[in-house]
Chain A
Amino acid sequence: MQAGLFLDIVDPWINWTWLSTHIPYVLAAVQEHLTLTAIALVGGLVIALPLGIAARRWTNLHLRPAALTVFGAFYTIPSIALFALLIPYTGLGILTAEIPLVGYNVLILVRNVLVGLDSVPPEVLDAADGMGYRPFARLIRVELPLALPAIFAGLRVATVSTIGIVTITAVIGLGGLGQLILRGLIESFHTPLVVATALCIVLAFLSDLAIALAQRLAVPWARNP
């Protein structure tokens, strides 16, 4: 274009000096990132688990198609649009960030809860009934444990997705590692941008691994469905 007119300010993709002097800053961002993710996962599970169980139990309420449709539609909507819709009502804070994140996770998790519970063989249920388990006890001690592999699989997908979307909450003042990305954009400063993007990927992989390990411990008899 206009070659030679702009003195490109030399800015390496990773300035290791900056990184070594900003470890606490980066770690604080990671911490905020993990907190936002954890809340979204727990929130999603807290809603999805009872919802899935209820949908199977009280089929006359048609909860299954209703939940899948409603949360499925919600899932299609980009997070930034949902944040924008919520800001006038819930302000610039954690609630605005978490409502969409939890909503997305409910879809992923409720699908897996349903699949997991559906996959319990009828012979096992019969046997449990024959052994004298009452419905609630049968749910807790037989059905849910057998559904765990599917639920864990859902948790892995939900976690990785959430970690990526949390970066977008930077536009409402949160963001965790998203704040570093935003800084990289505003200041045309490569290092926080690259470091944050790389760390997101690393965090996603480590979380996936951690949940897979937890699954191995909790359900050692089963592999991924």
Chain B
Amino acid sequence: MSLLQATWQWLTDPAHWQGIDGIPTRVEEQVHLSLESVAIGALIALPVGIVLGHYGRFGNLAINISNVGRAVPSFGILVIAFQVFGLGDVPIVIALTALAVPPMVTNSYVALREVDPDIKDAARGMGYRGLAQLFRVELPLAVPLIMAGVRTSAVQVVATATLAALIAGGGLGRYIVDGLARSDNPRTLAGALLVAALALATELLLAGLERALVPRGIRLLSASAARRASTFKTA
């Protein structure tokens, strides 16, 4: 039996779809870890980026933080988190949150800065001040780029969560790591295919969500900034 046939057999074996090591469990673990990390990351990153962008302060820091984030090796951060916090979800979520924050800060900052100054003038002329201007004028216009940042983070967090298996974590990476240890090639390949599928599905889902939620009337501002921020790969 060829490797591909054996892998197909592995994937279609009902025993692999139930229990603590079953595919649904592993997918749920990876999604759960990712959601937690992106949510916490967003709670930290978005307010910071938005406020800095609104007031135009610490621009260099905000823009360069995603360069720093790109430079940090995710494998190293995960292992350091493991050394500090031991086993379980806590070290994984902490490491993934740290990786999720930078692109969201940068994108939020740039999004706010890129709001057309003429529009801000008009808003001021209409009587909007300070926070009202921020919430009712600037933010709605900034949403596309902010969402692009969240999407970039989320896709990378889902991908990096695969590495959790290297520090005895759960998720689909478990199949890859266990398969390699046991020289169980069908398991390894099945794991790799499932991981790839999950990553692609995340990207497509979030891209679709973005397209659905952002009104067509609002163009994606500053394509180069968006492109720069979306090339963010940590795993």
Contact = CB atoms under 8 A, between A and B. Distances in A.
Are A and B in direct contact (Cβ within 8 Å)? yes
Interface of A: 73, 75-82, 84-85, 87-88, 104, 107-108, 111, 115, 153, 157, 160-161, 163-165, 167-168, 170-171, 177-178, 181, 184-185, 188, 190, 193-194, 196-197, 200-201, 204-205, 208, 225
Interface residues of B, number: 47
B179 interface: yes
B115 interface: no
B155 interface: yes
Interface in B196-218: 196, 199-200, 202-203
B176 A161 contact: no
Interface of B: 3, 67-68, 70-77, 79-80, 82-83, 155, 159-160, 162-163, 166-167, 173, 176-177, 179-180, 185, 188-189, 191-193, 195-196, 199-200, 202-203, 224, 227-228, 231-235
A160 B67 contact: yes
Given A171-B166, A194-B80, A80 B72 contact: no
Contacts, number: 139
6 contacts: A78-B235, A80-B195, A81-B176, A108-B231, A115-B224, A185-B79
A80 B73 contact: no
B159 A78 contact: yes
- Of B75, B159, B173, B228, which is in contact with the most chain A CB atoms at under 10 Å from its CB? B75
Contacts of B82: 185
Closest 6 CB pairs of A and B: A197-B76, A204-B71, A81-B195, A84-B192, A81-B192, A78-B159
A169 B70 CA distance: 17
